């Protein structure tokens, strides 16, 4: 159909629920296996022409479809990619929300729903992995034609899972139903049971998408063929035989060889001319495709490679636009300046450094780090160099002496400086792995710091003197004692239940050996300075460790829960003794 453009379909959902695998089934490829950790890291695009869709859907094809095909945007699934998915959602005319029918709604599914609601993007649910439903015999092709072949046990299991999904979606304000039971698609979200593994239900998924797009979206798909091209840069890379090129999605207008275009770059807006437009073969994912066809022009919507001069410093994740006048250029400069300023961070304060390969990745990591309430000193697109290490090394707090590097080169000089200044660099090509490693590292440092603080504290202790074991009455008094709660350390000061001070524990012996610390339940001999058994002490008293006020305040506010029940009880008894004389003690 010449008067409408190809609908753009965003594929969203939780990590590992099968987004890329469903697309692999449609395009008969293995992109998922080639990705880092099997997880999509950047937005990719695949154009599926109507003839291929007709072949896949031959069992259920309806001849009244008048669309040129579908352009799928495969968006990353982990929650760190909120903003990349937003960019995908914003570009999309319609979306597929992929849900593992056996796992149901997961955190990233919720996030995807939030994005779809924000952009008011119509969507369908691909309820994936029906092949794992007990009793279900999955096969390639139409779900509806396979359904009657299942036994009642399998059908009941499938319906149970679908209605669990319907109930969960209702909690988020969406009315859903299995697609073949829906009367009004404007009021009900369609659930299409599918198996990316066997290909079952893929024909219905494609037909529902085409039907919805043709019936409800034709108005927004009307082409403005003469309009200037606008698009999004996905990735910049060296291409054998043509030099530096960029993967891009053109979502509006027509781009021609020779057009002047503006792209946001690391050193400002780049203005260049299109030397060549390369289009992947039908049903090929442009991120991993090696064979492209040269075309003179391309009309939205399409995934393409653009060959042009001066692309080396173009920033992936930003928009590009064809220029007709100087005013177009000025407007573009103002817009991209504002966009990058809103994302990139540069401060003089305390915080970590973030370096990524694209604006989308940068935006994603910044949002994730901010959600963890971790300060950021600098966040920008580019490789990790010596200056980044020096900047982060000036942080006073060691838990902020870290650099997060996603999919970028770390220069040798930076590695050397990092060793010198004890700066930790977290690198990799899976964002959530980098963030998880960084978070765990910070937690370990904090725990080590807390352990040091706790070790330095004088902790609660409660002892019972053993009158039958008086070894010396004075200078110093040496007597047996049992630790009833907490601990007793050499140097601890002891008090009576009435609050009066007794003296300092000069030394402790157990089984003839000197010890520095005794724990609950232990019995040993202790030497107490400045006390005489028979005068200040009878020799059978219960005594408490005199915890200094500052230490008691720290314990009561943050460490009490880390003690066992007897130690907590002993500490509260000690606090009560102290507050009889001063109600505000240690408050």
Active site residues: 78
Pair of tokens at residue 453: 């603080």
Pair of tokens at residue 76: 């990353």
Residue 205's closest CA among 72, 112, 77? Answer: 72
Residue 155 CB contacts under 8 Å (≥ 6 apart), including other chains = 147
Tell me the CB-side half-sphere exposure of residue 289, using CA atoms within 13 A.
23
Contact present, 405 and 426 (Cβ < 8 Å): yes
**Spatial distance between the Cα atoms of 244 and 41, rounded to a whole number of angstroms:** 21
Region at 511 (left for phi over 0; alpha for psi -120 to 50; beta for the rest): left
Residue 184 CB contacts under 8 Å (≥ 6 apart), including other chains = none
Identify the burial level of 43 via C-beta atoms within 10 angstroms of its C-beta, where 0-12 means exposed, 13-18 middle and 19 or more buried.
buried
Residue 341's closest CA among 321, 312, 362, 323? Answer: 362
Identify the burial level of 134 via C-beta atoms within 10 angstroms of its C-beta, where 0-12 means exposed, 13-18 middle and 19 or more buried.
exposed
**Spatial distance between the Cα atoms of 57 and 115, rounded to a whole number of angstroms:** 30
Contact present, 232 and 87 (Cβ < 8 Å): yes
DSSP letter at 6 equals P
């Amino acid at each position: 159909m010449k008067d409408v453009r190809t609908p753009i379909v965003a594929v969203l959902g939780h990590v590992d629920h099968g987004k890329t695998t469903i697309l692999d089934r449609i395009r008969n490829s293995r992109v998922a296996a080639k990705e880092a950790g099997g997880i999509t890291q950047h937005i990719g695009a695949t154009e599926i022409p109507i003839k291929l869709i007709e072949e896949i859907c031959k069992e259920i094809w309806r001849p009244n479809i008048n669309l040129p095909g579908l352009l799928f945007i495969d968006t990353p699934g982990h929650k760190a990619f909120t903003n990349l998915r937003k960019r995908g959602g914003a570009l999309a005319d319609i979306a597929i929300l992929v849900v593992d029918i056996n796992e149901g709604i997961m955190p990233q599914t919720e996030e995807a729903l939030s994005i779809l609601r924000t952009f008011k993007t119509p969507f369908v649910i691909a309820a994936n992995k029906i092949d794992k439903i007990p009793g279900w015999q999955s096969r390639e092709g139409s779900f509806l034609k396979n359904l009657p072949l299942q036994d009642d046990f399998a059908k009941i299991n499938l319906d149970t899972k679908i209605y669990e999904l319907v109930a969960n979606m209702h909690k988020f304000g969406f009315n859903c139903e299995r697609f073949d039971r829906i009367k009004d698609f404007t009021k009900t979200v369609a659930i299409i049971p599918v198996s990316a593994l066997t290909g079952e239900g893929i024909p219905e998924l494609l037909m529902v998408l085409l039907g919805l797009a043709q019936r409800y979206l034709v108005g927004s798909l009307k082409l403005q063929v003469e309009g200037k091209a606008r698009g999004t840069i996905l990735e910049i890379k060296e291409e054998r035989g043509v030099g530096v090129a960029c993967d891009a999605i053109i979502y509006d207008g027509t781009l021609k060889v020779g057009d002047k275009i503006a792209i946001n770059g690391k050193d400002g807006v780049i203005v260049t001319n299109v030397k060549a437009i390369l289009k992947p073969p039908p049903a090929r994912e442009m991120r991993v495709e090696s064979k492209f066809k040269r075309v003179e022009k391309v009309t939205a919507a399409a995934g393409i490679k653009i060959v042009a001069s001066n692309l080396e410093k173009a920033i992936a994740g930003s928009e590009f636009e064809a220029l007709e006048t100087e005013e177009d250029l000025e407007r573009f400069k103002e817009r991209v300046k504002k966009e990058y300023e809103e994302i990139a961070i540069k401060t003089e304060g305390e915080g970590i450094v973030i370096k990524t390969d694209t604006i989308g990745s940068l935006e994603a990591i910044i949002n994730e780090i901010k959600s963890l309430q971790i300060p950021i000193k600098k966040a920008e697109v580019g490789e990790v160099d010596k200056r980044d290490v020096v900047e982060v090394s000036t942080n006073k707090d060691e838990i902020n002496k870290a650099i997060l590097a996603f999919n970028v080169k770390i220069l040798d000089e930076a590695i050397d400086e990092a060793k010198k200044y004890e700066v930790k660099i977290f690198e990799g090509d899976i964002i959530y792995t980098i963030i998880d490693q960084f978070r765990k590292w910070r937690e370990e440092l904090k725990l080590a710091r807390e352990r040091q603080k706790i070790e330095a504290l004088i902790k609660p202790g409660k002892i019972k003197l053993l009158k039958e074991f008086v070894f010396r009455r004075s200078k110093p008094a040496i007597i047996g004692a049992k630790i009833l709660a907490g601990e007793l350390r050499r140097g601890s000061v002891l008090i009576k239940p009435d609050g009066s001070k007794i003296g300092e524990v000069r030394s402790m012996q157990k089984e003839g050996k000197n010890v520095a610390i005794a724990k609950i339940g232990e019995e040993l001999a202790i030497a107490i300075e400045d006390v005489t058994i028979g005068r200040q002490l009878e020799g059978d008293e219960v005594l408490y460790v005199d915890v200094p006020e500052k230490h008691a305040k720290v314990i009561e506010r943050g460490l009490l829960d880390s003690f066992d029940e007897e130690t907590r009880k002993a500490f509260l008894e000690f606090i009560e003794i102290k507050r009889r004389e001063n109600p505000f003690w240690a408050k």
